[in-house]
Amino acid sequence: MKKLFIISFITLLTIVACSNQTESDPEIEEEVKGIHVDFQLPNDADTGETVGLTATVTYGEDELVTDAEEVSFEYWNVEDEENTTTIESTNNEDGTYTAEVVFENAGTYEIYAHTTAKDMHTMPKKTITIQGEENTEEEHSASNSNEEHSHQEDFMIHLEEHEKVNKDTKIDWTAHLKMGEEPYQNARVRYEIIPENSDQHIWLDTEEIEAGTYSSTHTFAETGQYKVVVHVNDDSGLHEHKEYNFEVIE
């Protein structure tokens, strides 16, 4: 009888200890894997010179993505931002996607590497300076596969913006989407959070909490300047994004 009592007492202590440990464990945020694009571009080139564009796409830590849904390069002269050109890349089936472009006019150009893979979208941007004589001919790709990049003019993204947020505090990020005057429903919306001077991007999945309203939360462990990009796409071919800047403080 005494032996049975001791065994029962030890069992009870074990149950209580496990219960206390479970209650004391902090909530752990599940890390969401994202895609990363290493966009290689020379700093400068001459007019008439063929410029190589290379995007290496990885998923998670270092898994090469050989089947990206889209990798295209959109470029424009900074003096004429409304006139953009998009060229498709060649998939080399080794995680790299390449294209070539010849700039006929001198100036400073910005280039997006639009990348969609694993139902995610990112678009790193680089700048190149073209030196040489002015030319009235338009730039062209070496493969002659130019196409104009267009967006839905009546589509709107509004993020409930945070200019400053506190470190170690859970922050709600909520975006409202509209097409014309109607809430835009059933979209895939993700937030890409980019710390300044870092290649480590944070990806947040959202939940549509009401018609056209998409929300997620995140707690920042480090102070500094950040950028958040709201990425929106769906099965209809919609592909939109909008960027915001904010700061994390103590």
Residue 241: the pLDDT is 85
Number of Cβ within a 10 Å radius of residue 13: 10
Q: Which two tokens stand for residue 223?
A: 């102070």
Q: Residue 159 forms beta bridges with which residues?
A: 175
Residue 134: the pLDDT is 62
Query: What's the predicted TM-score (pTM) here?
Result: 0.55
Domain 35-147 homologous superfamily, CATH: Macroglobulin (MG2) domain (2.60.40.1930)
Residues 6+ apart with CB under 8 A from 114: 70, 71, 72, 73, 74, 86, 121, 123, 149, 239
Report residue 20 CA to chain centroid gap: 40
Place of tokens 């002659």: 144
Q: Across residues 76-83, what is the average pLDDT?
A: 83
Residues 6+ apart with CB under 8 A from 6: none
Contact present, 141 and 124 (Cβ < 8 Å):
no
- Where do the CATH 2.60.40.730 domains begin and end in the chain? 155-249
- Where do the CATH 2.60.40.1930 domains begin and end in the chain? 35-147
Tell me the C-alpha distance between 179 and 159, whole Å.
15
DSSP 19: H
**pLDDT exceeds 80 at position 155:** yes
Q: Across residues 83-106, what is the average pLDDT?
A: 92
pLDDT in tens, 31-65: 567 889 999 999 999 998 999 999 999 998 889 99
Residue 170: the pLDDT is 94
Computed over every residue of the chain, the mean pLDDT equals 82
Number of Cβ within a 10 Å radius of residue 74: 17
Residues, the chain: 250
* Residue 8 pLDDT grade (very low, low, confident, very high; cuts 50, 70, 90): low
Residue in 72, 87, 70, 71 with CA at minimum distance from that of residue 138: 87
Statement: 155-249 belongs to CATH 3.40.50.800: no
Report CA dihedral (164, 250, 189, 92) to the nearest 10 degrees.
110
| DSSP-based three-state secondary structure for 9 | helix
pLDDT in tens, 204-238: 999 999 999 999 999 999 999 999 989 888 888 78
Lowest-confidence region among 11-15, 72-76, 194-198 = 11-15
